[in-house]
Structure 1
Amino acid sequence: MLTRKISDLKGQSQIQVQVMDSAATQIIYFTLDELPEEFKEYIRGILPQIKDGRWHYGGKM
């Protein structure tokens, strides 16, 4: 999982989550507002860590 802050056209920031679907060999992107049902329980459990930026990628290594 990887997260990053993004801005919409109105300038409001959101957190985008990227997860790897290894069965389909693809990366799935969604914002916390668009959270798929199957991830809701998992994400709720780690939401404070997400909001604190634990998995945020800032483009620097």
Structure 2
Amino acid sequence: MSYHIMLTRKISDIKGHSLTQVQVMDAATPQIIYFTLDELEKDDLPEDLKEYIRGILSDIEEGRWHYNGKKNKRKT
């Protein structure tokens, strides 16, 4: 499998609904693919990418790769 998740983040659609955007690197084609989780039900994404995301969906929903844009300060 050539897909590797890079990060996820929360975005809002035009109606203000919160969506999870996923950023995935496809090493086979070298490209970065952006999509929201609701797009897994559509036919726009390759089936093997959908299978990869479904396999790690619980980790995505738990925030394993979540990026919120805030810098973390180290405690010394």
Opposite residue 55 of structure 1, the aligned amino acid is W
Q: Which runs of 5+ in 1 are unaligned?
A: none
Unaligned runs of 5+ in 2: 72-76
- Which one-letter code corresponds to 1:58 in the other structure? N
Structure 1 residue 4 and structure 2 residue 14: aligned?
Answer: no
Aligned length: 61
Identity among equivalent positions (%) equals 72
Larger relative contact order, structure 1 or 2 (CA cutoff 8 Å, min sep 6):
1
- Which SS does the other structure have where 2:8 is aligned? strand
User: Normalising to structure 2: TM-score of the pair?
Assistant: 0.67
Which of the two has higher C-alpha Rg? 2
Could you say which residue in structure 2 is the equivalent of 1:38? Answer: 48
Give distance in 2, aligned partners of 1:41 and 1:27.
Answer: 17
